[in-house]
């Protein structure tokens, strides 16, 4: 008899559009609005760029709170409410006439999309999968790369033909059309709500899955450990993991946001440099699948620091780039390893701290990663203006990545994780 597809995989697919919108419609597409704002209102690029910084900082600072709310009310509610609010804010952005309105609405977007972003998405997947958690998270996180590959060029076409106001309206309608219906009709917070167990295991008679309740601490179906947020914050492991990902995000975002101008300074054409940036994002999707899958097959103790260490190779190749061929090679290697972090971070959190308070703990660690993403472009710009070149900056990013890989290896490998089959 043919075995039915485990429902958790449908949950994975239902989460991909949320990741796609959160990255493509909020982060990658932002650059297309610079020139329209400049032409219509006379705002400078630096004034406009503040809006993205406001969004990223708000998203980061909201992460711990969103994590706690996710643990309390469930990821399904948070994602649904966040998507509805975020879609509405996009539509209002299309009516903006003053810079302060743009700032206020991007602040609101930071709150909204933290609610339907990576914290509740990965909390749901941590509930649905134990042995195949890395694979599931890797597949869902490819939505981030698809956001770069699909939303940005599509938004650019709409802006060119209908203007920036219609583009924001389109983004709002797209958010409403993709995320809430899937959350309402497909997504569920945990498998026990459907009489199932994580990874599609068959529930035994009298097991927690039969009652629709989550397994208790005495259940043999899940690891018999779970840190509370207070216990996690008091541990050195929490701070070392958070510091590692803060450093990692500062390093790769510094390189990523200055990749085009660095290559053009090297004599590479703008067209090739822009294509390389797109290839970097595309390779990131493959990296998410690869590192997520091997987090299950090997161990997060190996894969997490390896992902950070291999990122160094991509940066080093970029430093040595003097030809178009080297551009393509460095873009693929750098993007592949950079993309893996999105799948590996939540796996590390679940591996070290358990899933009982996953949302709150993952939210705290995500705040560091978000802060790194927000401040990296500014720090990189200051470094370039001070030093006059990118060689020292990129070399510093390489060294920082190696330090972060070492810290991460210690934090994950020294954690007391019970031996559970498949983890």
Q: Rounded to whole angstroms, how far apart are CA atoms 180 and 49?
A: 29
Where are the domains positioned within the chain?
7-200, 224-413
**Which of 82, 97, 95, 98 has the alpha carbon at shortest distance from 26?**
82
Superfamily of domain 7-200 in the CATH hierarchy = MFS general substrate transporter like domains (1.20.1250.20)
Q: Rounded to whole angstroms, how far apart are CA atoms 109 and 91?
A: 11
Residue 77 has a pLDDT of: 94
Which DSSP helix (H) or strand (E) runs through 61? Answer: helix 45-73
DSSP string, 205-273: TTSHHHHTPPP-TT-TTS-S----HHHHHTSHHHHHHHHHHHHHHHHHHHHHHTHHHHHHHTT--HHHH
Matching CATH topology for 7-200 and 224-413? yes
Walk along the chain (423 residues) and give the pLDDT tens digit of each residue: 456 889 999 999 999 999 999 888 887 788 788 888 888 998 887 788 888 888 988 998 999 999 999 999 999 999 999 999 999 999 999 999 999 999 999 999 999 999 998 899 999 999 999 889 999 999 999 988 888 778 878 888 898 899 999 999 999 999 999 999 999 999 999 999 888 898 887 666 555 554 444 444 333 444 446 888 999 999 999 999 999 999 998 998 888 877 777 888 888 887 777 777 778 878 888 999 999 999 988 888 899 999 988 889 989 988 888 888 888 888 888 889 888 888 899 999 999 998 889 999 999 998 888 888 888 877 887 887 788 778 888 899 999 999 999 999 999 888 765 554 444
Tokens of 423: 């983890």
DSSP 5: P
Q: Rounded to whole angstroms, how far apart are CA atoms 183 and 197?
A: 20
* 4-23 burial code (b ≥16 CB/10 A, e <16): eebebbebbebbbbbbbbbb
- Domain covering 224-413 in this structure, CATH number: 1.20.1250.20
């Amino acid at each position: 008899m043919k075995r039915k597809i485990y429902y958790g995989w449908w949950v994975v697919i239902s989460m991909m559009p949320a990741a796609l919108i959160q990255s493509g419609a909020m982060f990658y597409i932002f650059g297309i609005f610079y020139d329209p704002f400049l032409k219509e209102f006379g705002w400078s690029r630096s004034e406009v760029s503040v809006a993205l910084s406001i969004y990223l900082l708000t998203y980061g600072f909201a992460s711990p709170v969103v994590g706690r709310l996710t643990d309390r009310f469930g990821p399904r509610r948070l994602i649904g409410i966040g998507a509805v609010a975020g879609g509405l804010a996009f539509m209002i952005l299309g009516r903006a006439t003053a810079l302060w309105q743009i700032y206020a609405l991007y602040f609101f977007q930071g709150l909204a999309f933290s609610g339907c972003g990576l914290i509740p998405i990965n909390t749901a997947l941590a509930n649905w999968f134990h042995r195949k958690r890395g694979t599931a998270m890797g597949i869902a996180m490819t939505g981030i790369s698809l956001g770069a590959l699909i939303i940005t060029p599509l938004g650019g076409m709409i802006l060119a033909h209908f203007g920036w106001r219609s583009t924001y309206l389109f983004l709002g309608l797209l958010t409403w059309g993709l995320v809430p219906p899937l959350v309402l009709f497909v997504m569920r917070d945990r498998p026990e709500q459907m009489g199932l167990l994580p990874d599609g295991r068959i529930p035994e008679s009298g097991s927690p899955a039969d009652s629709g309740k989550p397994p208790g601490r005495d259940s043999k179906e899940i690891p018999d450990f779970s840190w509370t947020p207070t216990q996690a914050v008091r541990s050195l492991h929490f701070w070392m993991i958070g510091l590692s990902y803060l450093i990692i995000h500062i390093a790769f975002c510094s390189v990523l946001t200055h990749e085009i101008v660095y290559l053009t300074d090297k004599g590479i054409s703008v067209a090739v440099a822009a294509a390389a940036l797109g290839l970097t994002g595309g390779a990131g999707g493959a990296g998410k699948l690869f590192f997520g899958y091997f987090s299950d097959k090997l161990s997060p103790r190996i894969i997490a620091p390896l992902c950070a260490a291999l990122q160094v190779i991509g940066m080093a190749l970029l430093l040595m780039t003097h030809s178009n061929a080297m551009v393509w090679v460095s873009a693929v290697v750098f993007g592949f390893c950079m993309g893996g972090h999105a799948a590996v971070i939540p796996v590390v959190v679940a591996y070290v701290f358990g899933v009982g308070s996953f949302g709150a703990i993952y939210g705290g660690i995500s705040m560091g990663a978000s802060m790194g993403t927000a401040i990296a472009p500014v720090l990189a710009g200051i470094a370039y203006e001070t030093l006059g070149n990118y060689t020292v900056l990129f070399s510093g990013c390489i060294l920082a990545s190696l330090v972060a890989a070492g810290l991460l290896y210690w934090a994950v490998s020294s954690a007391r994780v019970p031996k559970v089959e498949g983890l």
